Chains A and B, each alone.
Chain A
């Protein structure tokens, strides 16, 4: 079996009196779309925050390609190819759509002062950014301020921005929140289209139907713990998972 792209190993995280994550362990495999499902408060967003370095794990390890990255800080995780979106969409609102994508360029991010000399590559970079925007059907709004975008466009821009950094893993935090059926369909297609571009995609959601059709594998969480892992159908039929969502497994 191939090396996991990322691995959570016994990760625990506590906030005051609340155990947000409890010895959470799972793998993210190459080429897959991994769904993470759980009711509100299950710890899904905390997990993304630990993965992307916003929170430091109290216990356990986070591993990327066999490398222990537990101690790496936020910006180092970003440079290591861990990209994420946010539940409440955090764009650079006063920058244009084009600039939001351009700023993701890792070459410049890693050498901000070297970027001062990059005049020659400018045309090519803008063209590449426009191509990226085109995939998300945003190219015609490139010069618009990101803060003026409608909801669906804003979500797609956040994903485009994350992809523009050529990440290895892309974490999507409740990307379908607030979307109607039509928009959700489009979103699923957009996510599937990303498959070849990154090593793995992790989609966190509490919408079971969505993850059933989208994910290759599913991880179910509750109260900060992993309660089931495997093929979507099997996980969603798992009595403990059902209980977490509905209370009891009977009619």
Chain B
């Protein structure tokens, strides 16, 4: 159904941006599926167990997940590259296991009765996040993130507290994934751990890779392409994973910078004349 497509595209865009935000600080996170799960469950608890409306549940879930992300991030982000991939993968598995073991949230069977999310909610958020990211891209903070990502040692030598920057980025990504999770859960009516296996995290990271990591538009492009294209070409839907896999492999071989390779510098010479 059209409404589903609109909804899932928006959700995937938010998820892709949640990975992008963390990627900005130089970290690859495979835990965002887990953050999505926590967000979905937390907001579900607020709405079904406490009877509060969704617009209260989502922010609570976002803050809670951000806090969780930052606490976990503080030790985790001391590792990087492959090691961080492993740690975030481990986090993803632990979270899924933990959720399955908690009877209060339904264990393996999950929860039901989550209502209240509409596609327009998601797209308002997409617009807000997009605006924030666009504004960010022209500020000194963008440069600080870029420096942290490029060469953390030199960034530190210049006085940048890269640990602080990375932890905040991690928490922000977690919050964004949680929001996506909350909206997803309250659209689907049910939530259970099955929805949040490691492949979710993997796919979201690959959306960003597909679209391009050098700018803020690659992530939503990758998410949109991978959500809508399989729907629109008859028969492609069943082959989605295989086609996606092949596309990624070929992409990484011939055009690793992704579909949108450009980078928009945060400041140019001509800015000296304006402002």
The interface residues of chain A lying within 8 Å CB-to-CB of B151 are 90, 92
A116 touches B159 (CB 8 A): no
A99 to chain B: which residues have CB within 8 Å?
143, 146, 265-267
A-side contacts of B272, CB under 8 Å: 123, 126-127, 130
Residues of A within 8 A of B165 (CB): 112
Given contacts A99-B267, A119-B275, A123-B273, contact A109 B159 (CB under 8 A): yes
Chain B residues at the A interface, C-beta cutoff of 8 Å: 135-136, 139-141, 143-144, 146-147, 150-151, 153-154, 156-162, 164-165, 168, 263, 265-269, 271-275
Residue of A with least CB distance to B275: A123
- Chain A residues lying within 8 Å of B156, measured Cβ to Cβ, are 73-75, 78
Contacting residue for B160 out of A83, A84, A96, A112, CB 8 A:
A112
Bitwise, A61-82 to B at CB < 8 A (1) or not (0) is 0000000000001111111000
List of B residues within 8 angstroms of A142 by Cβ: 268-269
Expressed in whole angstroms, the minimum distance between the Cβ of A123 and any Cβ of chain B is 4
Chain B residues lying within 8 Å of A110, measured Cβ to Cβ, are 159
- Cross-chain contact of A115 among B141, B146, B147, B263 (Cβ < 8 A): B141
A118-B158 in contact (CB<8A): no
- Give the nearest-CB partner of B159 in chain A: A78
Interface size bracket, A side: 35 or more
Main secondary structure on A side of the interface with B: helix
Complex interface: stretch among A16-24, A36-44, A100-108: A100-108
Assembly CA distance A106 to B158 (angstroms): 8
Interface 1/0 per residue, A145-176 and B, CB below 8 Å: 00000000000000001000100000000000
Nearest CB on B from A44, distance (A) = 17
Q: Are A165 and B154 in contact (CB under 8 A)?
A: no
Q: Does A135 contact B (CB under 8 A)?
A: no
